[in-house]
């Protein structure tokens, strides 16, 4: 194990990547969240929000007592916040009182509201503005997070600019809402652009179709399948609390395919965020990886062992790769391994 870890560490391309690798590895092995918190606090997203909280002399409130609201309270100091605003919760969280929106508007004449709901952040912002809360008192933290997910993740490294080809052929493994494909089209610029997008979920598939159809000057191929190491049908388990994953007994049947079988010819960039199937998806792309040496951007947070098993698998296919690691959220999710 030591030699395997040392080999991966030696392939890291900069000090930021080496530090994230060490902390993410220790988090995976020990479960100690302090290592994960250290990674989060090193992100530009955290630094930006932390600066806003530190410089804010008004009373501070978090809009949402859900998952992200609680994460914001934990990361930026529970004692910093005078309350949480949520129409669907009551009581308190870690001694922070939870108020419905109407009660907040009646009781609070000043204060800053930090929006912590990714699903309803736009609605929260509009409701607060309609109630007379000025923009200077609203900090859309959720909007900042979504901006990172949609506009920075997978394409923000300067090393990728140096690796851009005259003809870019992108694989969007786990297309979801199509925004990563859209950002690829922006990142690639005026070069010849082709997208192969894979998304098995019916609703997501149709959303992706709308986005891909809107891209001008881009050749798009959308496939309603997941990615795996073989062509088969797998059972998928979706649970908001336990997480989504491929597992026996899952209620959803998903057709999957190998990239080596789905694409003939060249690829230049493969992005994989496929709900824990990254290892199998990489195995299914072995020929493309060996023959084309595409840039890889692979999620390494779905399983504890991903942080060492995925880079080790990539090196077994193409030992010339250099690795970079970056983290793109305020939680343990959205750690990306780049191979260039």
User: How much is the pLDDT for 108?
Assistant: 83
Instruction: Say if 287 falls within a structural domain.
Output: yes
CATH number, residue 132? 3.40.50.720
CB 259 within 8 A of CB 280: no
The whole-angstrom separation of Cα 137 and Cα 116 is 14
- Residue 181 and residue 294 in one domain: yes
Chain-centroid distance of CA 184 in Å reads 15
Same domain for 299 and 184? Answer: yes
Q: Is residue 34 part of a domain?
A: no
Q: Give residue 183's pLDDT.
A: 97
**Cα–Cα distance measured from residue 192 to residue 199, given in angstroms and rounded to the nearest whole number:** 23
Cβ contact 340:160 at 8 Å: yes
96-116: average pLDDT: 92
Query: Do 143 and 166 belong together in one domain?
Result: no
> Is the residue at 305 inside a domain?
yes
Mean pLDDT of the chain: 94
246 pLDDT band, cuts 50/70/90, is confident
Higher confidence at residue 253 or residue 290?
Answer: 290
Query: Do 130 and 189 fall within a single domain?
Result: no
Query: Are 191 and 124 in the same domain?
Result: no
Please measure the distance between the N-terminal and C-terminal CA atoms of the chain and give it in whole angstroms: 24
Cα–chain-centroid distance for residue 130? 32
**Residue 225 three-state SS:** coil
Could you give the number of structural domains in the chain?
2
Q: Give residue 244's pLDDT band: very low, low, confident or very high (50, 70, 90).
A: low
pTM listed for this prediction: 0.93
CA distance 289 to 267: 9
Task: Flag whether 37 is in a domain.
Answer: no
Selected residue with higher pLDDT from 298 and 253:
298
- For 209-215, the CB contacts below 8 A with 24+ separation are 209/178, 210/178, 211/177, 211/178, 211/179, 211/181, 211/182, 212/178, 212/181, 214/182, 215/181, 215/182, 215/185
Q: Is 138 exposed, middle or buried (0-12, 13-18, 19+ CB in 10 A)?
A: middle
* DSSP strand pairing (226-227 vs 252-257): parallel
Range of the domain at 111: 44-148
The residue-averaged pLDDT of 69-95 equals: 95
Across 302-324, average pLDDT: 98
pLDDT at site 242: 53
Q: In angstroms, rounded to a whole number, what is the distance separating the alpha carbons of residues 14 and 9?
A: 10
Confidence of residue 238 (pLDDT cuts 50, 70, 90): low
Residues 131 and 188 in one domain: no
Same domain as 285, residue 160: yes
Q: Which of 57-66, 146-155, 190-199, 238-247 has the lowest mean pLDDT?
A: 238-247
User: End of a domain among 148, 169, 192?
Assistant: 148
The pLDDT value recorded for residue 146 is 94
Residues 6+ apart with CB under 8 A from 139: 49, 52, 112, 113, 114, 115
Residues 246 and 130 in one domain: no
Quickly state the pLDDT bin for 159 (edges 50, 70, 90). confident
Q: Among the three residues 125, 148, 171, which one is the final residue of a domain in this structure?
A: 148
Once rounded to an integer, what is the mean pLDDT over residues 13-20? 98
pLDDT at position 66 is 94
Last residue of a domain, one of 120, 148, 176: 148
Domain presence at residue 103: yes
| 265 Cβ contact partners less than 8 Å away, ≥ 6 residues apart | 169
pLDDT of residue 245: 65
- Banded pLDDT at 109 (limits 50, 70, 90): confident
Task: Give DSSP secondary structure letters for 32-60.
Answer: -HHHHHHHHHTSHHHHHHHHHHHH--S-E
- 138 Cβ contact list (under 8 Å, min separation 6): 112, 113, 115, 125, 128, 129
pLDDT band at 236 (very low <50, low <70, confident <90, very high): confident
Helix axes 202-213, 179-188, angle to 10 degrees: 30
Task: Give domain status of residue 211, yes or no.
Answer: yes
pLDDT of residue 162: 84
pLDDT score of 163: 84
**Domain identity same for 184 and 259:** yes
β 192-198/218-223 pair status: parallel
pLDDT digits (tens, 9 = 90+) for 180-233: 999 999 999 999 999 999 999 999 999 999 999 999 999 999 999 999 999 999
Q: Are strands 81-85 and 96-99 parallel, antiparallel or unpaired?
A: parallel
Q: What is the pLDDT of residue 251?
A: 77
Neighbouring CB atoms inside 10 A of 216's CB total 6
pLDDT in tens, 266-302: 999 999 999 999 999 999 999 999 999 999 999 999 9
The CA distance from 25 to 21, in Å, is 6
Same-domain pairing of 314 and 175 = yes
Task: Let me know if residue 188 belongs to a domain.
Answer: yes
Are 172 and 84 part of one and the same domain? no
The Cα–Cα gap between 169 and 323 comes to 20
Clarify whether residues 137 and 161 are in a common domain.
no
| CATH number of the domain bearing residue 292 | 3.40.50.150
Domain membership flag for residue 323: yes
């Amino acid at each position: 194990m030591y030699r395997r870890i040392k080999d991966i560490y030696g392939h890291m391309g900069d000090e930021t990547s080496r530090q994230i690798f060490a902390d993410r590895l220790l988090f995976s092995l020990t479960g100690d969240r302090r290592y994960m918190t250290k990674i989060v606090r090193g992100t530009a997203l955290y630094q930006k929000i932390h600066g806003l909280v530190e410089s804010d002399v008004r009373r501070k409130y978090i809009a949402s007592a859900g998952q992200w609201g609680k994460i914001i309270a934990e990361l930026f100091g529970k004692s910093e916040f005078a309350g949480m605003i949520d129409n669907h919760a009551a009581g308190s969280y870690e001694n922070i009182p939870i108020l419905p929106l109407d009660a907040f508007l009646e009781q609070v004449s000043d204060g800053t509201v930090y929006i912590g709901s990714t699903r309803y952040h736009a609605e929260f912002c509009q409701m607060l503005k309609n109630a007379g809360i000025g923009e200077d008192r609203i900090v859309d933290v959720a909007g900042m997070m979504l901006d990172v997910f949609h506009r920075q993740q997978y394409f923000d490294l300067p090393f990728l600019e140096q690796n851009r080809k005259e003809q870019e052929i992108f694989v969007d493994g786990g297309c979801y809402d199509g925004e990563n494909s859209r950002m690829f089209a922006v990142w690639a610029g005026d070069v010849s652009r082709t997208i192969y997008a894979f998304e098995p979920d019916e609703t997501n598939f149709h959303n992706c179709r709308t986005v891909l159809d809107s891209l001008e000057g881009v050749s798009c191929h959308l496939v309603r399948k997941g990615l795996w190491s073989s062509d088969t049908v797998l059972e998928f388990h979706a649970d908001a609390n336990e997480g989504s994953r491929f597992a026996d007994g899952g209620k959803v049947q998903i057709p999957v395919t190998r990239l080596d079988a789905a694409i003939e010819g060249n690829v230049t960039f493969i992005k994989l965020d496929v709900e824990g199937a990254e290892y199998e998806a990489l195995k299914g792309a072995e020929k493309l990886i060996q023959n084309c040496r595409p840039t890889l951007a692979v999620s390494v947070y779905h399983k504890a062992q991903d942080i060492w098993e995925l880079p080790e698998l990539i090196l077994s296919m193409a030992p010339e790769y250099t690795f970079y690691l970056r983290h793109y959220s305020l939680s343990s999710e959205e750690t990306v391994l780049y191979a260039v």
